[in-house]
Structure 1
Amino acid sequence: MEKITVTVNELAILLGVSNTTIYTMTRKGEIPYARLRGKIIFHKPTIENWLINGATKNNKTVEEVK
């Protein structure tokens, strides 16, 4: 089974940015994410949709998408 979530480090590699950039984007609400026991994770289909739709700043968290 393929993973449906990625970590900060994995997403940074996929997007070609630093981990710091990913943390800054989550803090500013610029990218959809979830927290699991304090760890920031990203739902791959949500991130793909976010990218397809132009990676706008007006994003909902994963919980709001459900």
Structure 2
Amino acid sequence: MGKITLTVKEVANLTGLSTTTNYNMCAARQLPYTEARSRILLYRSMLEKWLAGESLDLMQV
């Protein structure tokens, strides 16, 4: 079983977008994310749906 959450750096490697772009997209609520101890984490399943173009409620999880 793979990881449930991804760090911004892991998302950058997965999407090809820079970490700065990913942080900015989270701040603008353009990526689905959650925070844990000041770390931004993205749920793999939600990110995969977002990448596939599925409509998501992008409020912070």
| Within-5 A mapping of 1:7-22 | 7-22=7-22
The gaps in structure 1 that reach 5 residues or longer are none
The gaps in structure 2 that reach 5 residues or longer are none
Q: 1:1-60 CA deviation, whole Å, 9 max, x = no partner?
A: 32111000000010001100001001111100000011000000011111222577x623
CA contact (8 A) 1:31 1:55 kept: no
User: Aligned residue pairs: how many?
Assistant: 61
Corresponding residue for 1:33?
Answer: 33
RMSD: 1.8
CA distance in 2, matches of 1:19, 1:55: 23
Structure in which a larger fraction of residues adopt helix: 1
Moved over 2 A (4+): 53-56
CA distance in 1, matches of 2:50, 2:11: 13
- After TM superposition, the score normalised by the length of structure 1 is 0.80
The alignment-based identity, stated in percent, is 38
- After TM superposition, the score normalised by the length of structure 2 is 0.85
